[in-house]
Structure 1
């Protein structure tokens, strides 16, 4: 039987958007927190650290401020240097129901110099004691759309870096969401008139921007959203022309 770790959390005011709904970046922070709590509880040893390479999140419904959530994480598979971890968020008063958010993340174990290295001995056995499983494959990342993207710029600020001095995964998604809203605003779509609910987020972390790096965010927003319809955002964060982060997300403009 696989190891599962549970944690309760109440959605805070500062984790919601202007409509009082939990943001994707806030849920990414939940994922970071529960993964760290799980590793601490398992007393995982080693002098390396884990970095995220790709994350998938599926949202089945908006989550309002002050909602109590039962969070769960577990191992899905391991290789010598990678681990795939699953996550679920359930309404606290319906813990056996289908998850309101489901996600999984591919992690890579790296040494103090940031190079992939073999994970601590018996790591896989902690989470999958019945026997190790290879990480299940993910689908290929969607191709970059044709056409000229909307562009904006950003600089990695102190509040956006993590313990490894890299741009935090959740901070990268905040950059992407802010860039999309800048593009929407230029087309006359503002938060006063539009409410977007996330449906799915696929984020690939190709490289790690550092404090002070000057970044360009490119956004292909097709189709331009309309009330009651789904829309797609294909975005990437680049540094000096090199892709650092790329994301493909689906949203619903809720009437």
Structure 2
């Protein structure tokens, strides 16, 4: 079903969610911080699908951490609505990784959110910026999708 949605780019990695009571704030829509959690959830799911989950980060002694987020809330989402969270890797070099996101409400096919994150590679033990290990370069570079927007 997610393949039939109006994605900004081809073949997103997707994750289905339902807006639950704990997501709702005083304004009776999904709280902004929930979208940030969803960014992390779909990014980790995509990274793990590429063979780089938390265990691999730990074993390699390196990880990707957020340097910057851009969040664009386009439409409110409400209790019980079903969403498909989509993400793509859109850029990478030896130190950084760019990821785009698009969240679509399945009932009407409307894009409710778009975002972008820039990640930087760090040495986990030292917390310092480092070049990506070859395993990161191979997995992430092989999954890049050209930015069609």
Aligned counterpart for 1:115 among listed residues 128, 137, 142: 128
How many aligned positions are there?
129
SS in 1 for 2:142: helix
Alpha-carbon distance between aligned partners in 1 of 2:101 and 2:64, rounded to the nearest angstrom: 16
Matched, 1:30 2:46: no
Pairwise mapping of residues 61-210 of structure 1 onto structure 2 (< 5 A)? 61-94=75-108, 97-112=109-124, 113-121=126-134, 122-128=138-144
Which of structures 1 and 2 has the bigger CA Rg?
A: 1
> Structure 2 unaligned runs (5+)?
1-8
Q: Deviations over 1:118-145 (max 9, x none)?
A: 123213333127xxx7x9xxxxxxxxxx
Task: Please name the residue that 1:40 is paired with.
Answer: 48
What is the Cα deviation at residue 3 of structure 1? Answer: 5.8
Alpha-carbon distance between aligned partners in 2 of 1:120 and 1:26, rounded to the nearest angstrom: 31
Conserved? CA contact 1:88–1:99, under 8 Å: yes
Alpha-carbon distance between aligned partners in 1 of 2:83 and 2:14, rounded to the nearest angstrom: 10
TM-score, structure 1 length as denominator? 0.47
What is the Cα deviation at residue 25 of structure 1? Answer: 0.7
Task: Please name the residue that 2:20 is paired with.
Answer: 12
What is the Cα deviation at residue 69 of structure 1? Answer: 0.3
TM-score, structure 2 length as denominator? 0.77
What is the Cα deviation at residue 93 of structure 1? Answer: 3.0
Structure 1 vs Structure 2 CA RMSD: 2.1
Bigger RCO of structures 1 and 2 (CA < 8 A, at least 6 apart): 2
Q: Which runs of 4+ in 1 moved over 3 A?
A: none
Task: Flag the structure with higher helix content.
Answer: 2
Q: Deviations over 1:38-94 (max 9, x none)?
A: 111110243211211111111111111221101101111011111010011101234
